[in-house]
């Protein structure tokens, strides 16, 4: 029988928590050499970040006894006399002390997040940016300050920031407005085509020079600075290992498609065939881009089952039951593939989509299609 010698009980510190080092967390620690605790606000949940991953920390309470023991191996093991008098064998290991814990922090891999709700909006006009920046509910942060307070790993932040329209104007982290993003994208595409730049390997300085080639005289206000062009390339391109930007035409097509829905299908329904023509008309002349209508799911509904009409899911209720009721008021029967983008975020338990839908609606099989209707 193996025994251990315990010399003292360590003082339990209620402010200290026991963290479970799962294999992927330990691997990240060994690779990066450090992990960083983050939270947007003191009252928010704490996350643990490596260079490219984020873990949400959840306190797991339990009734089992957990012994946190600190082992030591001194040069000379302290003499413990009279073992034989108690008929106890000499301990196989020695520990300085121990402490009991009734809870532990369990790391759960999650997606890093950036809170942009209070950042100023840049519309391409210097004066309007200054006005918005002075509003009481606007938070002015540098990009480094935002990165430090965001519950997001360094690599995730670098990818998500431009996708959100994140930019830096006057050393302040801000978000490009939807309208200005459309304008900047259109000008960037036309300018790069005019200079015969390779969309498979765009260089930031070259793209910036192309955009600003005919932007007026020096000294005049120019909204298309280097950071704006960097945001546009980061949002609609993939950065290669060589530091070049490869244009994602599918992403560009989706952006123009949503713009077409907002412009031509906001007030009334439009036949899908007619919409496709109007969608194509919005692209810069001679810009080659395939139109994939499936990328627009989650931005339209079919009032009469045929034509389409623009709809933003931001207007939907957060409660699952209320959301399904609202969707069936828009149209009585949905194709599951077209409904899914409106309800995916409610499926917090990651159920199979068919099982989740059947909690609130009826499912009907029609060949290869799945139709959803109210109960």
The model's pLDDT over 201-245, given as tens digits with 9 standing for 90+, comes to 999 999 999 999 877 665 567 889 999 999 999 999 999 989 999
Sheet with 36-38, strands from edge to edge, namely: 4-6, 93-110, 54-71, 47-49, 36-38
The predicted pLDDT at position 369 comes to 87
H/E run at residue 117:
none
CA dihedral 184, 206, 128, 157 (to 10 degrees): 80
The predicted pLDDT at position 82 comes to 46
The residue written with tokens 């207007």 in the block is: 315
The dihedral through the CA atoms of 156, 161, 162, 168 has a sign that is negative
* Segments making up each domain of the chain, as ranges: 4-110, 121-247, 312-375
DSSP 8-state secondary structure symbol assigned to residue 18: P
How much is the pTM?
Answer: 0.80
Residues contacting residue 26 through CB under 8 Å, at least 6 positions apart: none
The whole-number mean pLDDT for each consecutive block of 10 residues of the chain, a chain of 375 residues, reads 52 68 85 82 80 88 64 55 52 58 82 91 79 70 93 94 93 93 96 95 95 72 90 95 94 97 94 96 93 95 89 90 93 93 88 89 88 90
**Token code pair at residue 352:** 């199979």
Nearest CA-CA partner of 296 in 316, 276, 282, 274: 276
End-to-end Cα, the chain, rounded Å: 65
SS3 at position 289:
coil
Alpha carbon distance 122, 90 (integer Å): 73
The residue written with tokens 């955009």 in the block is: 211
**Token code pair at residue 69:** 């023991």
Task: Pick left, alpha or beta for residue 82 (phi over 0 → left; psi -120 to 50 → alpha; otherwise beta).
Answer: left
Alpha carbon distance 360, 327 (integer Å): 12
CA distances from 14 to 11, 104, 275 (A): 10, 12, 62
Nearest CA-CA partner of 123 in 138, 133, 113, 111: 133
Considering just the CA atoms, what is the radius of gyration of the chain in Å? 29
| Residue 52 burial by Cβ neighbours in a 10 Å radius (0-12, 13-18, 19+) | middle
Alpha carbon distance 266, 312 (integer Å): 10
Residues contacting residue 68 through CB under 8 Å, at least 6 positions apart: 10, 18, 98, 99, 100, 101
Alpha carbon distance 369, 172 (integer Å): 49
SS3 at position 75:
coil
Alpha carbon distance 279, 255 (integer Å): 10
Alpha carbon distance 29, 45 (integer Å): 21
The dihedral through the CA atoms of 117, 52, 347, 333 has a sign that is positive
The residue written with tokens 């080092």 in the block is: 21
């Amino acid at each position: 029988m193996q025994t251990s010698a315990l010399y003292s009980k360590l003082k339990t510190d209620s402010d200290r928590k026991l963290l479970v080092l799962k294999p992927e967390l330990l691997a990240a620690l060994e690779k990066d050499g450090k992990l960083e605790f983050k939270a947007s606000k003191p009252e928010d949940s704490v996350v643990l970040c490596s260079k490219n991953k984020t873990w949400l920390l959840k306190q797991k309470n339990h009734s089992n006894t957990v012994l946190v023991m600190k082992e030591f191996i001194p040069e000379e093991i302290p003499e413990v006399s009279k073992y034989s008098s108690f008929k106890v064998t000499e301990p196989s290991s020695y520990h300085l002390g121990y402490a009991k814990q009734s809870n532990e922090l369990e790391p759960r891999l999650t997606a890093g997040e950036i809170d942009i709700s209070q950042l100023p909006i840049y519309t391409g006009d210097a004066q309007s940016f200054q006005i918005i920046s002075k509003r009481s509910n606007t938070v002015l942060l540098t990009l480094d300050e935002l990165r430090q307070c965001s519950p997001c790993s360094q690599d995730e932040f670098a990818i998500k920031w431009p996708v959100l329209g994140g930019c830096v104007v006057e050393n302040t982290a801000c978000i490009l407005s939807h309208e200005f993003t459309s304008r900047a994208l259109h000008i960037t595409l036309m300018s790069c085509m005019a200079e015969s730049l390779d969309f498979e390997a765009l260089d930031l300085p070259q793209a910036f020079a192309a955009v600003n080639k005919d932007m007026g005289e020096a000294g005049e206000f120019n909204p298309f600075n280097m950071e704006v062009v960097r945001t546009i390339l980061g949002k609609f391109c993939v950065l290669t290992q060589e530091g070049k930007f490869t244009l994602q035409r599918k992403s560009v097509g989706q952006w123009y498609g949503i713009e077409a829905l907002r412009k031509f299908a906001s007030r009334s329904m439009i036949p899908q065939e007619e919409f496709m023509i109007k969608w194509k008309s919005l692209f810069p002349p001679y810009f080659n881009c395939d139109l994939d209508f499936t990328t627009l799911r989650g931005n339209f509904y079919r009032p009469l089952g045929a034509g389409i009409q623009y709809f933003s899911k931001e207007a939907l209720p957060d409660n699952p039951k209320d959301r399904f009721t609202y969707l069936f008021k828009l149209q009585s029967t949905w194709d599951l593939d077209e409904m899914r983008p409106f309800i995916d975020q409610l499926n917090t338990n990651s159920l199979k989509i068919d099982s989740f839908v059947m909690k609130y609606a009826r499912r009907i099989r029609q060949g290869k299609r799945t139709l959803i209707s109210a109960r």
